[in-house]
Chains A and B, each alone.
Chain A
């Protein structure tokens, strides 16, 4: 099954841009990944799904245009432009994996975004 790797933390200044990375393990370059935002003390919220061709489907409810995604090789990127204080959150990526009669959902370790 795939392993999704995320850096533990990233920081960015108010109004700047930041790109979060989710890296799939070797052999899973065709996998789509979902991004979730989790604000402090809250449950996760769907941001958007990304494949190698970019966004798959629609953004989650209320996700601003400042959020975008890109996929390349084993990497799935979430870019946030003009960062706002409310963007300070943990960001999780995840993917389905089915093999024969088994099925798993895999999360990355999450990235904590700190807004400076």
Chain B
């Protein structure tokens, strides 16, 4: 079935880096804008970053701007999140999710497919 599978999470010390991956299957990955959304323990959802279907447009939440980089490889149907200079407040379950957008990252349908999440813990 259509699915997204995240990987790459783990325990990392403050200031270090981590790269998350999100492997897509059974749909045309290159047709969808892709998002990273995180959820700190016991908290609500927080949007992290979005990348357009073709990788040309990328946007970030202020909380991660300058530290995180979203990218995609459409030939591998894989989404990435490079996380640098990690902080304790980045500790969360990280989800990838897809949206169909009619114009890069605007005029979008809802998030209709989510992964199961990969857990990132930033701690010394």
A interface, CB within 8 angstroms of B: 34, 36, 38, 43-46, 49, 57, 60-61, 90, 92, 94, 96, 98, 102-110
Contact = CB atoms under 8 A, between A and B. Distances in A.
B47 A103 contact: no
B45 A44 contact: yes
Interface string B84-119: 000000000001010000000110111110111100
B50 interface: yes
A44 B116 CA distance: 9
Given A57-B109, A104-B61, A105-B35, A44 B47 contact: no
Given A43-B95, A107-B45, A102 B114 contact: no
B22 to A, nearest CB: 12
20 contacts: A43-B117, A44-B95, A44-B97, A44-B111, A46-B111, A46-B112, A60-B110, A92-B44, A94-B45, A96-B106, A96-B108, A98-B106, A103-B57, A103-B59, A104-B47, A104-B61, A105-B47, A107-B37, A107-B46, A110-B44
Contacts of B37: 44, 107
